[in-house]
């Protein structure tokens, strides 16, 4: 268990500081109670402003994650040597491979963008006694599968994303974190995600940063718009429980919201940085899903999704904006398993699959992008300009 006797005082101090002053200088101390202070510089885990966090500290009293749960980060690659990531790397049996790079066509995807490493840190950075941050599920196994390159066309990125999804499915992923998306239906992508469903794999997807109502047919955003029961779609909120202006929404096609503004996490080079967007929000929900599966390995993807949706903190700002009407609460979701004894008592109604005629659409091969640009254009072929603030130089030296 975590030693948290300094938590309340620390959080009160942090809440009073401007965000720019909360820097990522890792704590170098053997005392877990002192090191734990640094973990909460990610306000989405725990904070004192408007109850906007996911209740991670209370959740960790029930579950901290399991190495048996494999989370695939389908993204821009991963810094496998980052001190907060290295301990939680998944490895292919009999090899040192921690994933695959469909851009370069070889194992072990290097992150030349930062986005993938940032997302991985939010959902699964290891909690250690000397330095760094903590992920939501800080004892899971992280698999990295790279599909995105700024040098590729949207068509190339989409083709690679489909390959990446299938690779993760075939190599033992239990949960897939996917921040990419676009306005085009893809029969190949839909088929891959149905195959994931049939194998019991959950996909946690970003709602997108297009500032639009994704329930409108002209604004459908995939993969969220496929409406398969193994997909949970995530919007983003800020520390004041308001939806980010850039976040997509939709009472039917977007399930929940999670913290997504100025989130501190890992970036390549043993560094830390702040980023914003539905990608960051998605990683929080992936971490929550990993905690649930760690606690009960028999949960189906639809049960995990519905447990998360049924155990949110309702917010006026999210009423009629997301299916659940609220922000995720990891503690409440885990506690519901203890109360119910079985997941079937906590589920809510499933969303139906798309009508069959949707499958006859021509598969489009454009518009695949990473959800990290606050004002990405729907017409852009790929928009990934990272909106982030680097942490202090001291973090670079000490980590």
Active site residues: 75, 115, 279
Phi, psi (degrees; rounded to nearest 5) at 390: -70, 150
Alpha helices in the chain (DSSP H): 7-15, 32-39, 56-60, 115-124, 154-170, 187-198, 278-295, 301-310, 330-340, 393-398
Q: Identify the CA nearest to 125 among candidates 45, 185, 196.
A: 45
Query: At how many degrees (to 10) do helices 330-340 and 301-310 cross?
Result: 110
Contact yes or no for 343/303 (Cβ under 8 A): yes
- Distance (Å, whole) CA 376 – CA 369: 9
Instruction: State the CB neighbour count (10 A cutoff) for residue 148.
Output: 30
DSSP structure class, residue 149: -
Given CA atoms 298, 303, 308, 311 in this order, what sign does their dihedral have? negative
Contact yes or no for 14/41 (Cβ under 8 A): yes
Sheet containing 175-178, strands listed edge to edge, beginning at the edge strand earlier in sequence: 106-107, 99-101, 141-146, 70-75, 175-178, 202-206, 231-237, 256-259, 326-328, 312-314
CA distances from 340 to 194, 246, 278, 336, 346 (A): 29, 37, 31, 6, 7
Contact yes or no for 225/214 (Cβ under 8 A): yes
């Amino acid at each position: 268990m975590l030693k948290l006797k300094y938590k309340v005082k620390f959080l009160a101090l942090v809440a009073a500081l401007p965000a720019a002053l909360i820097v990522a200088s890792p704590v170098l101390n053997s005392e877990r109670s002192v090191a734990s202070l640094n973990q909460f510089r990610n306000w989405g885990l725990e904070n004192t402003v408007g109850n906007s966090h996911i209740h991670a500290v209370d959740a960790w009293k029930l579950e901290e994650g399991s190495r048996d749960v494999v989370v695939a980060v389908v993204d821009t690659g991963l810094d496998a040597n980052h001190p907060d990531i290295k301990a939680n790397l998944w490895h292919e049996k009999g090899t040192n491979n921690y994933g695959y790079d469909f851009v370069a066509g070889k194992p072990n995807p290097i992150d030349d963008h930062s986005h993938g490493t940032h997302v991985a840190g939010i959902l699964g950075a290891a909690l250690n006694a000397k330095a760094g941050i903590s992920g939501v599920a800080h004892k899971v196994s992280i698999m990295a599968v790279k599909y995105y390159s700024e040098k590729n066309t949207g068509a190339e990125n989409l083709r690679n994303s489909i390959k990446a999804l299938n690779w993760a499915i075939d190599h033992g992923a239990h949960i897939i974190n996917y921040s990419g998306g676009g306005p085009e239906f893809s029969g190949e992508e839909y088929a891959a995600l149905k195959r994931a469903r049939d194998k019991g794999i959950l996909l946690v997807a970003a709602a997108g940063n297009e500032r639009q109502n994704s329930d409108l047919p002209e604004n459908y955003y995939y993969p969220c718009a496929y409406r398969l029961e193994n997909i949970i779609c995530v919007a983003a909120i800020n520390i004041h429980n308001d939806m980010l202006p850039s976040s997509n929404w939709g009472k039917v096609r977007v399930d929940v919201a999670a913290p997504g503004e100025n989130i501190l996490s890992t970036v390549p080079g043993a560094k830390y940085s702040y980023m914003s967007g539905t990608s960051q929000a998605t990683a929080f929900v992936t971490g929550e899903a990993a905690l649930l599966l760690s606690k009960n390995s028999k949960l189906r993807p639809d049960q995990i999704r519905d447990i998360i949706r049924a155990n949110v903190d309702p917010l006026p700002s999210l009423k009629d904006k997301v299916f659940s009407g609220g922000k995720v609460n990891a503690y409440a979701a885990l506690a519901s398993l203890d109360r119910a004894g079985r997941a079937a008592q906590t589920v809510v109604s499933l969303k139906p699959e798309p009508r069959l005629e949707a499958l006859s659409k021509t598969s489009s091969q454009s518009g695949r992008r990473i959800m990290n640009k606050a004002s990405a254009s729907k017409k852009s072929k790929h928009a990934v300009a990272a909106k982030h603030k680097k942490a202090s130089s001291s973090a670079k030296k000490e980590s």
